[in-house]
């Protein structure tokens, strides 16, 4: 059974950045305003996240890494109307099958924190022969999750991930996206041993402040705000997009659907096409888009960590998004 679970886990978690995305979404679900990420060897040696969210009750620690354990859906009906990011309770379980996971957590009504280490979904005793239960310890409100030696038991996967720098860059990209999207939440990301974090946003920074911090003033100074609602679908578009006089060498698109960072090649292609009328050949726009739609219209059958989404009325919705962008670019030109 452990092997089957390991294979399933490997399908969810391909690389450190996938694992981190799941952990960040859990921290956000827990209402955190501070999320600190520490990384060793591109996350392969250590992937650690510390948040100040509501924590995990000690009674839940024993099952939190079991498959399909989630505190986020209560009735079958919820499955189709989920508005939080996670929806299947598979992420922590998956990570615990391919890494050594340790959770330290404290809820605000508990006198102390509790710590537990996991292997293949279950708590392991802190001493050989000891009890497999959480141990009380000191700690702040919130949760710290460490995943060590990612893919230690999946040698083919481990071998495929040779380049720690590349993995670290993917991790930074995930942190950057969530930092920009989550005004009011402070994010840091650092390599263990380095004094200065590579990203550091504050709770008081605006979205544009965060874009400036991460992508630089050149981009931040050339942005148009976008905000439109279409009750028919329903669809809410919010974002910041580069204007018609500014372009970058590589198309940057930060896309969120219902606050989940996703990829949509179809949206990408359509937006690129809108800008080609404005931009010089071989240059591209910079686009941050947050779409909110009825969760029932978003394909919930795609795997929780699969970033490529599909949704109802896709062509029509994409045409609507493009029209909104087109209008904004046109307006700003006059």
Residues that bind ligand ADP (CB under 6 A): 22, 26-27, 30, 51, 53-56, 64, 69-72, 86-93, 143
Cα 321 versus chain centre, distance? 23
- What is the closest distance, in whole angstroms, from the C-beta atom of residue 22 to Mg ion in the complex? 5
Among ligand ADP, Mg ion, none, the one that 27 touches (CB under a kind-dependent 5 to 8 A) is: ligand ADP
Choose between 210 and 261: whose C-beta lies nearer to Mg ion: 261
Closest distance between Mg ion and the C-beta of residue 249, in Å? 35
Q: Where are the alpha helices (DSSP H) in the chain?
A: 2-12, 16-29, 58-61, 78-81, 91-98, 155-160, 164-181, 207-215, 217-220, 265-276, 314-333
Question: And the tokens for 194?
Answer: 């380095």
**Taking Cα atoms as reference points, which of 323, 300, 328 lies closest to residue 230?**
323
Question: What residues does 186 pair with on adjacent strands?
Answer: 34
Q: Which does 47 bind (CB under 5 to 8 A by kind): ligand ADP, Mg ion, none?
A: none
DSSP 334: -
Measure the CA–CA gap between 213 and 180, rounded to whole angstroms: 9
**Nearest residue (CB) to ligand ADP, 71 versus 119:** 71
In whole angstroms, how close is the CB of 120 to ligand ADP at the nearest point? Answer: 14
Residues 6+ apart with CB under 8 A from 255: 261, 262, 263, 264, 267, 268, 287, 289, 291
Kindly report the number of other CB atoms within 10 A of residue 25's CB atom. 20
Minimum CB–partner distance for residue 115 and Mg ion (Å): 20
Give least dist CB 131 to ligand ADP, A.
22
By a kind-dependent CB cut-off of 5 to 8 A, residue 71 interacts, out of Mg ion, ligand ADP, none, with ligand ADP
Query: Of these partners, Mg ion, ligand ADP, none, which one is at the site of residue 143 (CB under 5 to 8 Å by kind)?
Result: ligand ADP
Q: Give CA–CA dist 284/276, Å, rounded.
A: 8
Which stretches within 246-288 are classed as H helix? 265-276
Residues that bind Mg ion (CB under 5 A): 26, 86, 91
Count each helix (H run) and each strand (E run) in the chain, helices first.
Answer: 11, 14
What does the angle CA 114 – CA 117 – CA 122 come to, to the nearest 5 degrees?
110
Kindly tell me which of 78 and 183 has the beta carbon lying closer to ligand ADP: 78
Nearer to Mg ion by Cβ, of 25 and 198: the residue is: 25
| Shortest distance, position 219 Cβ to Mg ion, whole Å | 31
Smallest gap from residue 30 Cβ to ligand ADP (A): 3
* Residue sitting closest to ligand ADP (CB): 86
**Cβ closest to Mg ion, residue 24 vs residue 274:** 24
Task: State the binding partner of 106 from Mg ion, ligand ADP, none, CB within 5 to 8 A by kind.
Answer: none
CA distances in angstroms from 207 to 43, 45, 181, listed in the order given: 27, 32, 7
| Residue 5 near which of ligand ADP, Mg ion, none (CB within 5-8 Å, type-dependent) | none
């Amino acid at each position: 059974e452990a092997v089957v679970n390991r294979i399933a886990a490997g399908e969810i978690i391909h690389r450190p950045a996938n694992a981190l995305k799941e952990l960040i979404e859990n921290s956000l679900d827990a209402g955190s305003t501070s999320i600190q990420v520490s990384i060793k060897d591109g996350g392969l040696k250590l992937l650690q996240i510390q948040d100040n969210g509501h924590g995990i009750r000690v009674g839940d620690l024993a099952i939190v890494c079991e498959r399909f354990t989630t505190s986020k859906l209560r009735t079958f009906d919820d499955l189709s109307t989920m508005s939080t990011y996670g929806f299947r309770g598979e992420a922590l379980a998956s990570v615990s099958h391919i890494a050594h996971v340790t959770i330290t957590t404290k809820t605000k009504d508990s006198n102390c924190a509790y710590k537990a280490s996991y292997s293949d979904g279950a708590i392991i005793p802190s001493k050989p022969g000891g009890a497999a239960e959480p141990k009380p310890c000191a700690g702040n409100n919130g949760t710290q999750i460490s995943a060590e030696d990612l893919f230690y038991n999946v040698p083919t996967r481990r071998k495929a991930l040779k380049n720690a720098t590349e993995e670290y860059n993917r991790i930074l990209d995930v942190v950057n996206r969530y930092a920009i999207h989550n005004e009011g939440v402070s994010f840091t990301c650092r390599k263990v041993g380095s004094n200065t974090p590579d990203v550091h946003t504050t709770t008081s920074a605006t979205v544009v402040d965060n874009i400036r911090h991460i992508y630089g003033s050149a981009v931040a100074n050339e942005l148009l705000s976008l905000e439109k609602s279409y009750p028919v679908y329903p669809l809410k578009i919010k974002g910041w997009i580069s204007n018609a006089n500014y372009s970058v060498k590589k198309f940057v698109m930060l896309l969120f659907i219902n606050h989940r960072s996703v990829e949509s090649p179809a949206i990408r292609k359509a937006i690129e096409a809108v800008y080609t009328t404005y931009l010089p050949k071989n240059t591209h726009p910079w686009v941050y888009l947050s779409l909110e739609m009825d969760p029932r219209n978003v394909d919930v059958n795609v795997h929780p960590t699969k970033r490529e989404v599909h949704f109802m009325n896709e062509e029509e919705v994409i045409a609507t998004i493009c029209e909104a962008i087109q209008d904004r670019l046109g307006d700003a030109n006059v």
